[in-house]
Amino acid sequence: MTYIMFLLLVSLVLGLIAVASNPAPYFAALGLVVAAGVGCGILISSGGSFLSLVLFLIYLGGMLVVFAYSAALAAEPFPEAWGSRSVVGYVLIYFAGVVAAAGLFWEGWFEGSWVVVDGLKEFSMLRGDVSGVAMMYFLGGPMLVLCAWVLLLTLLVVLELTRGLSRGALRAV
């Protein structure tokens, strides 16, 4: 289990580096899908299967649609791939930053400190992820409304910026 978690965490860092280092939206979208899938795998291996499923469905169902729409409108004839010099330079810089941060916090990491949410299931009547989702909606209701408002505002801003000179779907009748 430790090796699987190590592989998932390394894959998450590599996916995030792929997103951050690539200026072309096509290849960055692939890095986003990899990072989302691996992040959901980390949540599943920690015992949060319901939260992982909700995150994956919402992410791939909603946010990637907006990302694909804005990537289609900002199409480049010759996008920079992962093998080009500037992208490789950014990858090396980000990887060096990750290694430096890992070296800084290396002493505080212990392999046995990773506890699965259902590790103490003998003392609980519910699964840990279901209780966590209930507490998230109970105590985080105002934050949920704020995040929904920010996502709607972001969608409107992206649609307005990528509309260009032509009339789009958001026009005065």
107-125 confidence digits (pLDDT tens): 766 655 566 656 656 666 6
> Given a cut of 90, is residue 84 above it in pLDDT?
no
Measured in degrees and rounded to the nearest 5, phi and psi for residue 115 equal -110, 130
> Given a cut of 50, is residue 73 above it in pLDDT?
yes
* Residue with the larger pLDDT of the pair 130 and 137: 137
The confidence band for 100, taking pLDDT boundaries of 50, 70 and 90, is very high
11-52 confidence digits (pLDDT tens): 999 888 888 887 777 777 777 888 888 988 888 887 777 778
**Contact in structure between 147 and 133 (CB atoms under 8 Å):** no
> Given a cut of 60, is residue 168 above it in pLDDT?
no
Q: What is the pLDDT of residue 103?
A: 86
> Which range is least confidently modeled, 16-25, 27-36, 55-64, 68-77?
68-77
- Residues 56-84, mean pLDDT to the nearest whole number: 72
What is the Cα–Cα distance from 111 to 114, expressed in whole angstroms? 7
The confidence band for 96, taking pLDDT boundaries of 50, 70 and 90, is very high
- Residues 46-74, mean pLDDT to the nearest whole number: 74
- Residues 144-173, mean pLDDT to the nearest whole number: 73
Burial label for 32, CB within 10 Å (0-12, 13-18, 19+), is buried
State the DSSP string of 122-143: GG-SS-HHHHHHHHHHHHSHHH
